[in-house]
Amino acid sequence: PAGAVPLRLCGTRAASEGLSKPVIDRIIRVDHAGEYGADRIYAGQMAVLGRSSVGPVIQQMWDQEKDHLKKFSELMVSYRVRPTVLLPFWNVAGFVLGAGTALLGKRGAMACTVAVEESISDHYNSQIRTLMEEDPEKYKELLQIIKQFRDDEREHHDIGLAHDAEAAPAYSVLKTAIQLGCKAAIFLSERI
């Protein structure tokens, strides 16, 4: 489980190991924002579909996202990274996206899950490549966390497909629009 990943870093340890502060700041800031957005998406889905047959499935994925968010919140403190100033926007946008796609029904919610989780796992893969190229030993603990969370996101993606995401109304259009939004959110959250 996500919560089982140990991390015993503090700001002084990170500094003494000579970590590339701008790279780490960017990774932690955007990952925190992404997990915050995912938390809000699942909250929106649960608000609409929580009492439906798919409610327990959404709750299970949401619980994992809460663990991810908690871990990145801890990393922000450990590495002294400021959050994106866009968190209030992601709060509303995430909830609206989750509730809005859930209003399309189970398939709409699952289409959202597939689109978001595919985007996030691809983004995590990119971060893994960056850290591996920089110094895999120096970033061992962070790599372990990102790999575990990437695997969780892929699992959510697969759950979405197993629950008929591709049968959602205008699936390819919906998926493309959500993924464009994810790319914009990633770009902005890394920088602002």
The three-state DSSP-derived secondary structure of 105-166 is CHHHHHHHHHHHHHHHHHHHHHHHHHHHHHCCCCCHHHHHHHHHHHHHHHHHHHHHHHCCHH
Residue 20 has what pLDDT?
81
Report yes or no on 64 lying in a domain.
Answer: yes
**Sign, Cα dihedral of 115, 118, 120, 123:** negative
Residue 2 or residue 120, greater confidence: 120
User: What total of structural domains would you count in the chain?
Assistant: 1
Report yes or no on 14 lying in a domain.
Answer: no
Per-residue pLDDT reduced to its tens digit, 122-177 = 999 999 999 999 889 999 999 999 999 999 999 999 999 999 999 999 999 999 99
Residue 121, domain CATH: 1.20.910
Range of the domain at 134: 21-190
Report yes or no on 157 lying in a domain.
Answer: yes
Give the chain's length: 192
Question: How far are the Cα atoms of 8, 115, 132, 157 from residue 121, in angstroms, in the given order?
Answer: 25, 10, 16, 9
Report yes or no on 93 lying in a domain.
Answer: yes
Tell whether the model's pLDDT for residue 30 goes beyond 50: yes
Global confidence as pTM = 0.89
Report yes or no on 25 lying in a domain.
Answer: yes
Report yes or no on 8 lying in a domain.
Answer: no
Residue 153 has what pLDDT?
98
Residue 28 has what pLDDT?
97
* Average pLDDT along the chain: 91
pLDDT band at 16 (very low <50, low <70, confident <90, very high): very low
Report yes or no on 38 lying in a domain.
Answer: yes
Per-residue pLDDT reduced to its tens digit, 113-130 = 999 999 999 999 999 999
Tell whether the model's pLDDT for residue 19 goes beyond 90: no
Report yes or no on 7 lying in a domain.
Answer: no
Residue with tokens 């994992």: 64
